Structure 1
Amino acid sequence: MVNGISSNCLSLCMTYCYITISSPWKLISASIIHLIKTYMASSVPINSVALLISVLFYGIYLDTAADFVAASELDFQTLRESGWWSTYYMTSGYSSNPCMCYGITCNDDASVTKIYLYHDVVLGSTLNLNFASLTNLTFLVLVGAGLRGSIPPEIGILSKLTYLDLSYNNLTGEFPDHSLRNLTRLDLLDISKNRISGCIPPVLGDLLKLTYLDLSYNSLTGSIPSDIAQLTNQRTLILSHNNLKGSIPIGLGSCTNLKHLSLSNYSLTGSIPRQIGYIRSIKSIGLSHNFLSGEIPYELWSLPYLDLLDLSYNNLTGKIPDGYWNRTSLALIGNKNLCDNFKGISPCLATSPAKSTKYQFLFPLPSSS
């Protein structure tokens, strides 16, 4: 007996200290079970064990609270150091809680999960966030924020990111392709209306969860990588208004979930792959202002849900099937070798082989409604 405390109780206390210090907090259950077993093998009163278990939970609470505050302050410091929130609630009245900053959403642990600044804040700086301190970020939306400079390779640290929208800025440079490889959870990637240059990185084809990809209105060069066809979950693919060349990847026909395809306004050559007509769910196809040649694949004429077909200003040939002009969303002007008895299209000559071309529609023509 030491000062009225039994040696068994002291042994139990030492066991408790060893368990709580050496074990992570996920092993709470194991610690409690150990305490109960120790009690059952000793003469320590049950109230002593209950007290120790209470102390155990209180210690874990304090430890968790300390981690909670530390993580929250780290996120707050990251936002403050960016300089973007200097005039947005960075006052002593809000202490160091990042969740009170404008455009910020947090999880239950006060860790930043979403940054959403959409056309209402002009930052006018580089993308200088310390991504290493924002590892729980799932949404990063900085639209029309006046961002300049390049996309930092550190963005690849954000492995939980599902939504990345940096459109309507002044970003330059090339894609950090090796960093993009880590963003395997991305559902949406929108870098449109910037000044990004270089080639479309084939690594985008590894982001298999992508459903929306918009790289339009940039200065991209080269060809469309065939790897893009690996994105079989994508519903929207917009690559228009760039400096791309080459042909349309045949593999796009495997993107059976695609609903909107826009490859307009650059220098595509070759023919329109008939495999595009295999995408039965597609609603809009934009291939205007290119150098596409050959006849329009008959598979396109029988797509059941197609609302918009814009093939204007190419070098397409052949006759337009009868009955298809009831579609007001059909745009074919600017193809001097297409023929039909319709305004803006050259009439088919009586001797033209195209006049006798027959089309067998496997599906009913879409209505104009």
Structure 2
Amino acid sequence: MLVLMFLLSRKITASPTTEAEVLVKWKNSLLYTPFLNSWSLSNIHNLCSTWDAVVCDKTTNTTVSEIYLSGFDLSGTLHGFDFASLPNLTHLDLNDNSFYGSIPPQIGSLSKLIFLDFGSNNFTGTVPYEIGHLRELEYLSFNNNSFNGAIPHQVISLPKVWYLDFGGNYFASPPHWSDYSCMPSLTYLDLSFNSFTPEFPSFIMKCHNLTFLDLSFNYFNGTIPESLYTNLVKLQFLNLSYCEMEGPLSSNLSKLSNLKELRMGNNNFSGVLPPNLCSGMMLSILAVNNNSFSGIFPNSLRNCLTLTTIRLDGNHFSGNITEALGVYPSLAY
């Protein structure tokens, strides 16, 4: 029993040293680390007090819980990062660096991770399905990289994620969107600047708590599903610009009563604007420019009392826009 207690005690006191060694080993595997001089074996016992970008658990102050390396001008890969040796990590921020290569599947061992941001790097390959093991995750951003393939359905079902940004990559549609559920806590979803085509992602209609949705710069080549208007009534921001979408706009658009910003420019939408446009809505920005809308500028535009910006150019409207809009002291168009 005394031997066992000694070994357990030794393991606990050695964990900060072990974590420091792991981080130094990863640092030494990188190509460029101009701002990590404090990560040194000569400074190994001061991990929790003097190491830049490292925060230790506030309760024990003996184990790494947060790593913030955003904008540290780092270059290299994650293949020398021993994820399993940092079991108490809750925040990992590598945003705005020059990391490249794929994400090792071992990242799935970070079972306590809450915040994960690998945005604005040069990562490639597919997203490992092991990300779906991170059941405590709340914030997930891989934006502005070069990921490809389909987003694993395991990732889209994480129960606590409220913020998901996979914009600015080369993600493609999976064989079947029906295999995907939706994160019940999700309020922010950005899938813009990808290669989704041609089916509109049906799982999004299950994301009833969304307030922000950006699907711009994809290739959906179809109409807006009617269920979007009825299922996503909490939306405040909707961007479907440059999606090669077509067809008329439904009068159910007015059901998005919380919408403040609507961007649908540079598509192939046609027909007339819904006569109840802006009815009961609080729109500040309306952009439907560069489509194939036609008809007289509708008097329903007078219902858009909260507008600050409107874009109707590049369509086939007729009539006098000033008369249709009425008086808007702060409106730009």
Both proteins in one fold, TM over 0.5: yes
Do the aligned partners of 2:265 and 2:290 also contact (CA within 8 Å) in 1? yes
Say whether residues 1:237 and 2:189 are aligned partners. Answer: yes
Hey, what does 1:188 align to over in structure 2?
139
Do the aligned partners of 1:143 and 1:167 also contact (CA within 8 Å) in 2? yes
Correspondent of 1:202 among 127, 144, 153: 153
Hey, what does 2:14 align to over in structure 1?
70
Q: 1:113 to 1:77 in 2, by over 3 A?
A: same
Do the aligned partners of 1:147 and 1:170 also contact (CA within 8 Å) in 2? yes
- Identical columns (%): 28
Following TM superposition, by how much is the alpha carbon of 1:322 offset from its aligned partner in structure 2, in angstroms?
4.4
Q: 1:90 to 1:161 in 2, by over 3 A?
A: closer
CA distance in 2, matches of 1:321, 1:281: 20
Q: 1:339 to 1:189 in 2, by over 3 A?
A: farther
Q: 1:348 to 1:226 in 2, by over 3 A?
A: farther
Q: 1:218 to 1:231 in 2, by over 3 A?
A: same
Following TM superposition, by how much is the alpha carbon of 1:97 offset from its aligned partner in structure 2, in angstroms?
3.3
Do the aligned partners of 1:79 and 1:98 also contact (CA within 8 Å) in 2? no
* The structure with more helix, counted as a fraction of residues: 1
Following TM superposition, by how much is the alpha carbon of 1:173 offset from its aligned partner in structure 2, in angstroms?
1.0
Partner SS, residue 196 of structure 1 = strand
The number of aligned residues is 293
Hey, what does 1:82 align to over in structure 2?
26
Do the aligned partners of 2:65 and 2:91 also contact (CA within 8 Å) in 1? yes
Q: Which has the higher contact order (CA 8 A, sep 6+)?
A: 2
Following TM superposition, by how much is the alpha carbon of 1:156 offset from its aligned partner in structure 2, in angstroms?
0.9
Say whether residues 1:143 and 2:90 are aligned partners. Answer: no
Which range moves more in the overlay, 262-271 or 323-332?
323-332
Q: 1:298 to 1:249 in 2, by over 3 A?
A: farther
CA distance in 2, matches of 1:242, 1:200: 11
Correspondent of 2:272 among 319, 331, 344: 319
Following TM superposition, by how much is the alpha carbon of 1:242 offset from its aligned partner in structure 2, in angstroms?
0.8
CA distance in 1, matches of 2:44, 2:131: 35
Following TM superposition, by how much is the alpha carbon of 1:276 offset from its aligned partner in structure 2, in angstroms?
1.4
Do the aligned partners of 1:73 and 1:97 also contact (CA within 8 Å) in 2? no
Hey, what does 2:287 align to over in structure 1?
331
Do the aligned partners of 2:241 and 2:263 also contact (CA within 8 Å) in 1? yes
CA distance in 2, matches of 1:131, 1:194: 21
Correspondent of 1:300 among 253, 261, 285: 253
Do the aligned partners of 1:104 and 1:115 also contact (CA within 8 Å) in 2? yes
Correspondent of 1:346 among 309, 313, 316: 316
Do the aligned partners of 2:93 and 2:116 also contact (CA within 8 Å) in 1? yes
Question: Superposed, which structure 2 residues align to 1:1-369 within 5 Å?
Answer: 66-83=10-27, 87-90=36-39, 94-99=43-48, 100-107=50-57, 108-119=60-71, 121-127=72-78, 128-177=80-129, 179-223=130-174, 225-278=177-230, 279-322=232-275, 324=277, 327-341=283-297, 344=313, 345-347=315-317
CA distance in 2, matches of 1:253, 1:243: 19
Partner SS, residue 97 of structure 1 = helix
Partner SS, residue 277 of structure 1 = helix
Partner SS, residue 147 of structure 1 = strand
Which range moves more in the overlay, 224-233 or 307-316?
224-233
Give the AA of the match of 2:15. A
CA distance in 1, matches of 2:237, 2:288: 14
Partner SS, residue 23 of structure 2 = helix
CA distance in 1, matches of 2:296, 2:189: 31
Q: 1:145 to 1:88 in 2, by over 3 A?
A: same
CA distance in 2, matches of 1:329, 1:77: 52
CA distance in 1, matches of 2:136, 2:24: 27
Do the aligned partners of 1:97 and 1:110 also contact (CA within 8 Å) in 2? no
Give the AA of the match of 2:233. R
Partner SS, residue 13 of structure 2 = helix
